[in-house]
Each structure stands twice: as structure tokens, then as C-alpha cells.
């Protein structure tokens, strides 16, 4: 939680500026304005705490935008956001900020493309971290058991801006769908193959390679070192457990 204290206290030595800065300023109000007065025009890109703050802010604001895509924020979507907050064990202050970010994302004039482009720049080529962000957004869209066409269109747009093809986004959908099945203890062999992005015709070596790649992409320690907020480590840990469960099921049936 160290990043939050320095972020809120204005001791990081920079202000985001741009659309993310506007979101943070609106959410934190006086605390933000009082502590951060200097814009270093991009200085500090890749700074660990800066990346963590950008990830946290963008995650919840875009989550709100996707939830509103079909014109109505469902209770399931609100619950999904609250579940993530609960997993993160946020303080009351952090939770209030996350809710404010979520609400700003629901606004009709939310600058999605500008926010995502700044987020990508802040992450400074941390591909696995950006993928984790996309997976969280997909999981939110799937939380009510279906994905509205407007939501899926936004998710493809998010992927395009952040450097993911449609086929890659589709695979992340398969991973998220398998996650739901895994959590409900109803994971099928077909879903397990989809989670790993392989099929029954792949060799054992190819399946193992896919498994190891996914485990590396979702390794909690690696993601935290790249800028995933410490509070989100439980989300990454859950992903690795689901990937391992899918791999174990496939191995039993080889």
C-alpha cells in the first residue's frame, strides 16, 4: 500500500496531467491539488509507484465505462466491482476513490481512448501488466453472465488501443469464461483447452509450453514488480490457480 500513501500525500514528485490526472484530481480533490503542483511532462514514466497509481485509476474508471456501455449498470456489474475491491482489501479511503473513479467512467463524455493511450504510455511497455488490466475488464463485462454487443465492441476497442488483436481478446474471453467455470467447479475439458489456448491435437510439449507461458504472464511477483498494485496480487494469484487447474485436467486426459 506504499504507493497509495505517497500518491495521496503528493510526494511522488510529479502530477500525471492529461485525462488520468483529471480523473485523479476529481476523485481526490484537495489532497491531490495540495500535494502535486508540478507537471514534469512525462518525467518518471515507468516509476513503480506512478505505474501502480495509473493502473488503479484506469482499472476502476474503465470498469465503470464498460458497465455503462449497454445503457444500464447492472447489479452484477456493481457487485463485480465490489468483489474486486473486497479482494484488494482496500482501506475506506481507497474504496471511496475507486468508487469515484468507477462513477467518472460512467459519464457520457468519459475520454476512453485518451485515458487508454495515457495508461499504455505510463505502463512503459509492460505487456503482461496491460494484459492483466484487459482481463479485469473482460471479467467485469462477463459478471452478469452475458456480454452485450456494445460491451464487446468497447473491449475490442480497448484491445486495439492497447495492442491486442481481436483473436487475442477472444482468447482472453476464453480464459475469463473458464475462470467462472473453474470457480464453480464445473470446468470441462473443452474449457480447459480454451483457457490454455490449445486443442486436443496439440502435442504434450506444445500444451506444456502454453501452460508455462500463461503462468509466467500471470505470476503475481512478476506483475507486482512491473507495477501491479500490491492490493491486486490476489487477482493474479487466482488466475494462476485457474490456469494450473486447467492444465491438470488436460494432463489427466492425455
**pLDDT given for residue 110 in this prediction:** 95
C-alpha span between 191 and 106 (Å, rounded):
32
The pLDDT, as a whole number, for residue 12 is 45
pLDDT in tens, 34-84: 444 434 344 455 577 788 888 989 999 999 999 888 777 778 778 878 888
What pLDDT sits at residue 182? 54
**Ranges 108-117, 220-229, 232-241, most confident:** 108-117
Q: What integer best gives the mean pLDDT of the chain?
A: 82
Which of 15-24, 28-37, 121-130, 179-188 has the weakest average pLDDT? 28-37
Mean per-residue pLDDT for 18-22?
86
**Residue 213 confidence (pLDDT):** 93
Per-residue pLDDT, 147: 82
Per-residue pLDDT tens digits for 175-227:
887 665 555 567 889 889 988 989 889 999 999 999 999 999 888 888 888 88
CA distances from 174 to 40, 67, 129, 193 (A): 41, 20, 19, 9
Query: Is it the case that residue 135 has pLDDT exceeding 60?
Result: yes
Pick the more confident residue, 32 or 153.
153
Q: Of 143, 152, 148, 194, nearest to 171 (Cα)?
A: 194
CA distance 204 to 82: 39
- In angstroms, the CA 74 to CA 10 distance is 35
Measure the CA–CA gap between 78 and 102, rounded to whole angstroms: 9
pTM confidence score: 0.81
DSSP structural state of residue 13: S
Q: Using the 8-state DSSP alphabet, how is residue 29 labeled?
A: T
C-alpha cell at 106: 460512467
C-alpha to C-alpha distance for 220 and 237, rounded to whole angstroms: 6
How far does Cα 50 stand from its chain's mean position?
Answer: 16
What secondary structure letter does DSSP report for 124?
T
- Which of the four pLDDT bands, split at 50, 70 and 90, describes residue 174? confident
**Domain that residue 61 falls in:** 2-252
The tally of domains found in the chain comes to 1
Amino acid at each position: 500500500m506504499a504507493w497509495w500513501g505517497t500518491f495521496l500525500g503528493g510526494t511522488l514528485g510529479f502530477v500525471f496531467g492529461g485525462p488520468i490526472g483529471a480523473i485523479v484530481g476529481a476523485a481526490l480533490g484537495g489532497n491531490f491539488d495540495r500535494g502535486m503542483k508540478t507537471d514534469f511532462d512525462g518525467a518518471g514514466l515507468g516509476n513503480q509507484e506512478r505505474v501502480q497509481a495509473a493502473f488503479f485509476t484506469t482499472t476502476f474508471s474503465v470498469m465503470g465505462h464498460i458497465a455503462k456501455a449497454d445503457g444500464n449498470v447492472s447489479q452484477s456489474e456493481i457487485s463485480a466491482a465490489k468483489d474486486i475491491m473486497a479482494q484488494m482489501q482496500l482501506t475506506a479511503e481507497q474504496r471511496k476513490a475507486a468508487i469515484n473513479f468507477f462513477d467518472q467512467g460512467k459519464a457520457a463524455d468519459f475520454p476512453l481512448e485518451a485515458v487508454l493511450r495515457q495508461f499504455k504510455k505510463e505502463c512503459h511497455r509492460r505487456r503482461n501488466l496491460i494484459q492483466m488490466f484487459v482481463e479485469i475488464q473482460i471479467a467485469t463485462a462477463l459478471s452478469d453472465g452475458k456480454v452485450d454487443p456494445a460491451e464487446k465492441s468497447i473491449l475490442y476497442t480497448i484491445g486495439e488501443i492497447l495492442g491486442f488483436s481481436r483473436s487475442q481478446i477472444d482468447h482472453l474471453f476464453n480464459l475469463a469464461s473458464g475462470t467462472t467455470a473453474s470457480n464453480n467447479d464445473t470446468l470441462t475439458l473443452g474449457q480447459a483447452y480454451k483457457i490454455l489456448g490449445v486443442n486436443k491435437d496439440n502435442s504434450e510439449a506444445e500444451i506444456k509450453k502454453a501452460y508455462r507461458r500463461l503462468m509466467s504472464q500471470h505470476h503475481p511477483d512478476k506483475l507486482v514488480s512491473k507495477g501491479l498494485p500490491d492490493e491486486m496480487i490476489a487477482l493474479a494469484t487466482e488466475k494462476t490457480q485457474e490456469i494450473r487447474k486447467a492444465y491438470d485436467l488436460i494432463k489427466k486426459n492425455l
